[in-house]
Amino acid sequence: MTGIAAGLLLQLGLGALAVLSALALAPALRSLVGGIFGTLIAVTGFLTGLAALLGATGGLVIPIALPMDPLLLAPDRLGGLFMLIVSGVGILVSLYSMSSTRGPDASRTAWVAMPVFLVGMQLVPAATDSVSFLLAWEIMTLGSTVLLFADHARRSTVASAGIWYSAMSQLSFFFILAGFAVLATASGGTSFTDLQAIEPGSGAANVAFVLFVLGFGGKAELVPLHVWVPRVLPEAPSHVSAAMSGAMVKIGVYGALLVCVRLMPDGPAWWGIAIMLVGGASALYGILQASVSSDLKVLLAYSTTENMGLVFLGLGASMLLRGYDATAAADAALVAALLLAISHAAFKSTLFLGAGAIIHATGERNLDRLGGLGARMPVTAAAFGIASLGAAAIPITSGFVAEWMLLQSLIHGGRLDGAVVSISASVAMPLAVAVIALTAGLALLTFVKAYGIAFLARPRSAPAADAREVPPLMQLALVLGALSILALGLLPGPIAAVVATTFSTDPTGAVQAVGLGGVSLPGIGATLDPVMLVILSALVAIPVFVSIIVSAHRHPARTIDLPWGGGGSRARPRMQYTATSYAEPLVRVFDDVLKPTRDVQVTHVAESRYLVERVRVEQRVSDVIETRLYRPVLNLFQRYGIVVRHIANGSIHRYLSYSFVALLIVLIVVSL
Amino acid sequence: MFETFYPQLIGLCTGALLLTSALMVWRHSLLASIRLLGLQGIALAALVAVIGIAEDESELVFVSLLILTVKGLGLPWVLAHQSKASIKQIQESPRLNPTAALLAVTLLTILSYVVVSRVFGLGDTTTGHAAPIGLAMVLIGFLLLISRRRARSQLIGFLLLDNGIATIAFLTSGGVPILLEFAISLDVLLVVLILHVFAGRMRTKFGGTAVDQLRELHD
């Protein structure tokens, strides 16, 4: 038995043990043991994924009773990379959940579903045929749905979110199933090796491509299939949101890569353009919604849509450029997309875990009622801050490297040896650069808001003022997450070089590691060495800081308080910026896209109309796509349902009459 | 001797089956329906016995005894297992009036003759000629199912349907294997017992077994 097979078998065995222990153990022990098992499952998955990524082969054969080939789980390098990503998130989430879960989140059902979810996610990238892929996919969806429903009894929003999630998951699954069915019919087999035989330009391939993009795009939260995201991720327990956004969404990305890179690598140009369009639209729409949201978890959820949009933008650009033989730029774009996925897994799971820590400490997720947490929860604040830097793509974090590489490939991709590769590429690439630029600017604004309003300034509510730092295990998960973001950002070279091996046998022409963990793109002629940058800027900054500190020590501190204090001494928490007021200019600028509803109520003083006693402003930004696209369809279905209710009204006589009439009609028709 | 009587015996038995079916639609009293069901069971048993003697199969004679016990005596006894005084009072108020119901029975019988003769052909054998009766019984049983309100009256419709299926089986292919016949009979007996207990519980809980009134329970 190979190492990979042993690792996969161990994951399955640990998963089964975790389910049994969750069923058997008393509530007091359940979270601890469940967390330990979850960590073990994730560590096993991590090691298995790492081995597969580094080129280990082998797999686990699972015979089945059905008349078809046995299921074969054998991750290749790409599968290994994604197994690594999801299990890395799994480690953080499992450590965190050991002490974060309380009440219904720590119920027996939830702890049975957690290992199912983790194992399901880790097995999807290992599948080598469509049957085992779909099986693992459904296990993953099932586990996540049950976890989401954990708190449905207390909050009605959870039930509604769960129904949205179930419906959208099933829609995704249907599309993927249909895609595989089309390919399997055309190629005559279900294993990925058989499916690779499809001619990418053929009709069946085109149909399957559209179905797959709809299916995997739904899981990867792309517009317009993202509507479940702003409902589900905020309502799920925070460690589940972290696992969903950090890991499960990557499985959607993996599916898209599987289709576009492995199964049908040389598709027509419109495939790349379509993916770029969907990705660009998702990136812009996601970050716009995130930037105006004042609910911390909704903000993070929409930001996930943005990041996945960028990943798909990179993937689409890579497909388009590869079609025009701009291989170096195409490889760089694909590496950038993969690095984006990795870094998103790191920073978004840390952010969601940080949001969970805030909810754990204050019970609030409305930014307008937070503030001042930086002094009260220093570890959480530091981790959330680093993750915010990553999400805003600021240097020395992982997000920066990925976006830098994506921009490099897009800027240089339109030209090959000085000549324009094609009209469509030379139109698409600058547009994509513009989209990324706007997205990056809005992302910066969004995360300045998220971090600044929540952790800086003064508390805006009593729970925020009474916040205490979370338990050590939750801190450990947050610190590990933050460290991984920094590691990915400081040492991009070796990571990018390994990532490039997932789709190319000789990637040195596209990506190389140089210097102190720096990355070089020889095909484009660009180099980035973050460690060197840090050392250089430290050389410049340290003398300046030292001189400032020294000169500050020479002058004694002023001890007399000014009586008036420049007005600052009487500032109240309510006078500070809130998340809503901070985003107000943006709402005005993008008024036509966001369509916010404002409600202003002015109460006058009884004596005079000219004096105002209080003003109450309420602003809601709803999801335009949901209200304009989904609502009409749902209303149509609802009307159909009301009509149908008359036909099927629950009377057994009526149902029997239907079958009797049907039988009579059949008899009459056959005897005619 | 038997050879000459054989077609007439088959005709008599199937005629009895059809007649009891039609009477079941006509009569509203539950007790009468149950008695008719018993008669029908006896007629079915007789039919099977006649076929068994004609084809010289001792197995079929054994089956006919089984049918006589289960359908002719067992099921009616289970259904009527209640004080005779109370069951006599149970009157069905069906959704179809007797005239319309009997007209429907006529049409269904004609339809089944048309269907069988057009689709399968009546064949040359005596039993083949009688086969439409089985289909007619199935359709009449269905009619009872949809036109009766009480749970136990519907149960009688279901049993009539089952008798129809058995009749078709015996007339066209000399019956199903004995093991299967045995299992089906036991199944039907079990279903009737369960539903009987249910109906009894429903009556004590809600005071009636009109299925329409039970619709409110599902909310």
E strand residue ranges, A388-538: 415-416, 419-420, 512-514, 518-521, 526-528
Question: For A157-164, which contacts have Cβ atoms below 8 Å and span 24 or more sequence positions?
Answer: A157/A231, A157/A235, A158/A235, A160/A231, A161/A228, A161/A231, A161/A232, A161/A234, A161/A235, A161/A236, A162/A232, A162/A235, A164/A227, A164/A228, A164/A231, A164/A232
Interface membership of A536 toward B (CB under 8 Å): no
pLDDT, position B6: 85
Q: Do B111 and A664 touch (CB under 8 A)?
A: yes
Q: CA geometry: angle at A648 spanning A644 and A649, to 5°?
A: 110
Q: Do A671 and B211 touch (CB under 8 A)?
A: no
Query: What distance lies between CA B187 and its chain's CA centroid?
Result: 15
Residue B177 burial (CB < 10 Å; 0-12/13-18/19+)?
exposed
Measured in angstroms, the CA of B147 and the nearest CA of chain A are apart by: 7
pLDDT of B217 higher than 60: no
Q: Which two tokens stand for residue A132?
A: 């085992």
pLDDT of B211 higher than 70: no
- Closest to A629 (Cα-Cα) out of A273, A157, A275, A285: A285
- Give, in order, the Cα–Cα distances in Å from A130 to each of A6, A133, A166, A195, A253: 22, 5, 21, 9, 16
pLDDT tens for A114-132 read: 999 999 999 999 999 899 9
Residue B153 — very low, low, confident or very high, per pLDDT cuts 50/70/90?
Answer: confident
Q: Do A671 and B118 touch (CB under 8 A)?
A: yes
Lowest mean pLDDT among A95-104, A213-222, B91-100, B174-183: B174-183
Between the CA atoms of B151, B157, B158 and B161, what dihedral angle is there, to the nearest 10 degrees? Answer: -170
Q: How many residues does chain A have?
A: 672
Residue B218 — very low, low, confident or very high, per pLDDT cuts 50/70/90?
Answer: very low
pLDDT of B219 higher than 60: no
Specify the higher pLDDT residue, A510 or A56: A56
pLDDT of B120 higher than 80: no
pLDDT of B94 higher than 90: no
Specify the higher pLDDT residue, B93 or A625: A625
Q: Do A652 and B211 touch (CB under 8 A)?
A: yes
Q: Do B111 and A668 touch (CB under 8 A)?
A: yes
Which of A649, A661, A671 to mutate to probe the B interface, most B CBs <10 Å? A671
Nearest CB neighbour to A660, from listed B95, B112, B142: B142
Q: Enumerate the residues of chain B whose CB falls inside 8 A of the CB of residue A651.
A: 211-212, 215
pLDDT of B85 higher than 60: no
pLDDT, position A214: 93
pLDDT tens for B33-78 read: 888 999 999 999 998 888 888 888 888 888 888 889 888 888 888 7
Nearest CB neighbour to B114, from listed A649, A652, A671: A671
Domain that residue B74 falls in: 2-218
- Give, in order, the Cα–Cα distances in Å from A78 to each of A202, A258, A319, A637: 25, 8, 17, 41
- Most confident region among A303-317, A360-374, B163-177 by mean pLDDT: A303-317
pLDDT of A268 higher than 60: yes
User: Cα–Cα distance between B186 and A116 in angstroms, integer?
Assistant: 43
Interface membership of A650 toward B (CB under 8 Å): yes
Cβ–Cβ under 8 Å, residues B150 and B87:
no
Domains of chain B: total: 1
pLDDT of B169 higher than 60: yes
Q: Closest chain A residue to B158 measured between Cα atoms?
A: A656
Interface membership of A427 toward B (CB under 8 Å): no
User: Cα–Cα distance between A3 and B57 in angstroms, integer?
Assistant: 67
pLDDT tens for A209-252 read: 999 999 999 998 898 888 888 888 888 888 999 999 999 999 99
Q: Other CB atoms closer than 10 Å to residue B198's CB: what's the count?
A: 14
Q: Do B146 and A657 touch (CB under 8 A)?
A: yes
pLDDT of A40 higher than 90: yes
Measured in angstroms, the CA of A236 and the nearest CA of chain B are apart by: 29
Measured in angstroms, the CA of A163 and the nearest CA of chain B are apart by: 20
> B162: which residues sit within 8 A by CB, 6+ positions away?
B141, B184, B188
Mean pLDDT for chain A? 88
Measured in angstroms, the CA of B160 and the nearest CA of chain A are apart by: 15
Interface membership of A597 toward B (CB under 8 Å): no
Q: Do B119 and A668 touch (CB under 8 A)?
A: no
Chain B residues with at least one Cβ partner in A under 8 Å: 95, 111-112, 114-115, 118-119, 139, 142-143, 145-146, 149, 211-212, 215, 218
Which of A667, A668, A669, A672 to mutate to probe the B interface, most B CBs <10 Å? A667
User: Cα–Cα distance between B58 and A147 in angstroms, integer?
Assistant: 64
Q: Enumerate the residues of chain A whose CB falls inside 8 A of the CB of residue B146.
A: 653, 656-657, 660
Nearest CB neighbour to A671, from listed B115, B215, B218: B115
